[in-house]
């Protein structure tokens, strides 16, 4: 059985991280899929190969869906980009829901 990380991490995006609209790696973990691109500023919502999700932009945060949802809710209160954060939350919750349902069945 393979173990996956459930660690939440956040920090400022650095130039050496590359393009936040098209990240290749987040927190040292490869991006499995880009889910959405932020239109009003550089940024994206992505799924990582370790099954976590990440949101990128001026800052980057990676974690399990519930952890990332909490982070996005907090960020959306104090900064611009409310539409982006609402869309990111909607997509995150839509994608995470089937996984949560399957986990409850086990």
Q: What is the pLDDT of residue 75?
A: 86
Q: What domain range is 36 assigned to?
A: 9-105
Residue 78 has pLDDT above 90, yes or no: no
Mean pLDDT across the stretch 3-13?
82
Considering the domain boundaries, does residue 4 fall inside one?
no
What does 36-84 look like in DSSP terms, one character per residue? EE-SSSS-EEEEETTS-EEEESSEEEEE-HHHHHHHHHHHHHHSS-HHH
Across the range 42-64, mean pLDDT stands at 96
Residue 13 tokens read as: 């995006």
5 confidence band (pLDDT: 50, 70, 90): low
| pLDDT beyond 60 at 3 | no
Provide the whole-model pTM: 0.84
How many domains is the chain built from? 1
- Domain annotation covers residue 3: no
pLDDT range class, residue 102, cuts 50, 70, 90: very low
Q: Is position 1 within any domain?
A: no
Q: Is residue 32 part of a domain?
A: yes
In a domain, 65, yes or no: yes
Q: What is the mean predicted confidence (pLDDT) over 41-57?
A: 96
42 to each of 2, 38, 72, 96, how far by Cα in Å? 33, 6, 16, 24
Is 24 part of a structural domain of the chain? yes
In a domain, 2, yes or no: no
pLDDT at residue 4, rounded to an integer:
55
pLDDT of residue 52: 95
Please tell me what DSSP assigns to residue 22: S
């Amino acid at each position: 059985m393979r173990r996956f990380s459930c660690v939440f991490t956040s920090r400022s995006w650095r130039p050496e991280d590359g393009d936040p609209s098209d990240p290749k790696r987040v927190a040292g973990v490869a991006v499995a899929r880009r889910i959405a691109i932020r239109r009003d500023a550089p940024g994206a919502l992505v799924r990582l190969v370790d099954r976590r999700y990440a949101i990128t932009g001026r800052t980057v945060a990676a974690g399990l869906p519930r952890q990332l949802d909490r982070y996005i809710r907090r960020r959306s209160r104090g900064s611009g980009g409310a539409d982006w954060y609402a869309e990111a939350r909607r997509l995150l919750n839509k994608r995470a829901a089937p996984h949560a349902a399957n986990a409850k069945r086990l």
